[in-house]
Amino acid sequence: MIVLENLTKRYGAFTAVSGLDLEIGESQIFGLLGPNGAGKTTTLRMIAGILRPDAGRVIVAGHDNVLDPMEARRSLGFVPDRPFVYDKLTGAELLRFSAGLFGLRGPAVENRIDELLELWDLVPWKDQLVESYSHGMRQKLIISSALIHRPRVLVVDEPMVGLDPRSAWLLKDVLRTFADGGGTVLVSTHTLELAESLCDRLAVIDRGKVVASGSIDDLRRAARSEAAGLEEIFLKITRGATDSTIARVVGQ
């Protein structure tokens, strides 16, 4: 469902993503891990068609997103890392607008809006301006917006930020159900617990390149830590700060 071939993105002299190759199939939740500035968000924004790659290809549901962008986007729902939406629209208006962008309207859209808002406990906020929503509520609204047109592929950047424990649990359930129904989920996250419990496959990227990928067992082997949890594996692969450095910087 998602194929990345030699995907590259440069900002001036800085290469944010360098020759990335990935293939993610149907009914799969794929986690993208990596330290800050590793190129995760840039990769996801290229898949969503927001950024144009300098080299390589992105195929979404069989459509090249440069050569056939409209069809590629029609199959995709995107949730960005920061929940910026139009503050001066109400929740229902935003979802109606989003559906309209995908060419949907009428009673079916109204029903879909109601069921999505009900899923996230946002019904009382339906006719309130988004500016009065909390961070977590905005996040839920954006996830609803990504699901409004029943996409086949979901690309989610940092989904857990701002969500309360119940909503976080619900989101995991939503993503699992989506994948079990034949959908593909690509999720970028710093929440290693989420990645460990939810993702079928993972890739760790650092400085724009994949440094390890596969199932959690594959990553354990790559980090040479057979019994380790994902946190330890991640730190080993990405070479986190040493204890002595931490003690020096924040020690009393």
Cβ neighbourhood burial of 144 (10 Å; 0-12, 13-18, 19+): buried
- Choose between 86 and 169: whose C-beta lies nearer to another protein: 86
- Choose between 148 and 212: whose C-beta lies nearer to another protein: 148
Site membership for another protein, residue 76 (CB under 8 A): yes
Q: Which residues lie closer than 8 Å to 15 by C-beta, 6 or more apart? A: 8, 9, 208
Site membership for another protein, residue 74 (CB under 8 A): yes
Per CB under 8 A, the segment of 22-30, 72-80, 169-177, 243-251 that binds another protein is: 72-80
Q: How far is the CB of 89 from another protein (least distance, A)?
A: 6
Q: Which residue has the tokens 């119940």?
A: 166
- The tokens describing 239, both together, are 């070479």
Q: How far is the CB of 90 from another protein (least distance, A)?
A: 5
For 100, the 3-state DSSP assignment is helix
- Choose between 96 and 112: whose C-beta lies nearer to another protein: 96
Contact 163, 139 (CB under 8 A): yes
Contact 200, 215 (CB under 8 A): yes
Q: How many residues bind another protein (CB under 8 A)?
A: 36
Measure CA of the first residue to CA of the last residue in the chain; give whole Å: 51
- Choose between 101 and 108: whose C-beta lies nearer to another protein: 101
Per CB under 8 A, the segment of 13-21, 128-136, 207-215, 239-247 that binds another protein is: 128-136
Cβ neighbourhood burial of 83 (10 Å; 0-12, 13-18, 19+): buried
- Choose between 67 and 247: whose C-beta lies nearer to another protein: 67
- Choose between 129 and 228: whose C-beta lies nearer to another protein: 129
Distance from C-alpha of 89 to C-alpha of 108, rounded to nearest angstrom: 21
Distance from C-alpha of 134 to C-alpha of 139, rounded to nearest angstrom: 9
DSSP summary character for residue 101: H
The interface with another protein within residues 140-199 (CB under 8 A) comprises 145
- Choose between 8 and 128: whose C-beta lies nearer to another protein: 128
Candidate list 115, 121, 127, 164; residue touching another protein; CB under 8 A: 127
Site membership for another protein, residue 49 (CB under 8 A): yes
Here's the x/- map for another protein, 80-109, by CB under 8 A: it reads as: x-x-xxx-xxx--x--xxx-xxxx-x----
Distance from C-alpha of 48 to C-alpha of 76, rounded to nearest angstrom: 7
Q: Interface residues with another protein (CB under 8 A)? A: 45, 48-52, 69-71, 73-74, 76, 78, 80, 82, 84-86, 88-90, 93, 96-98, 100-103, 105, 127-129, 131-132, 145
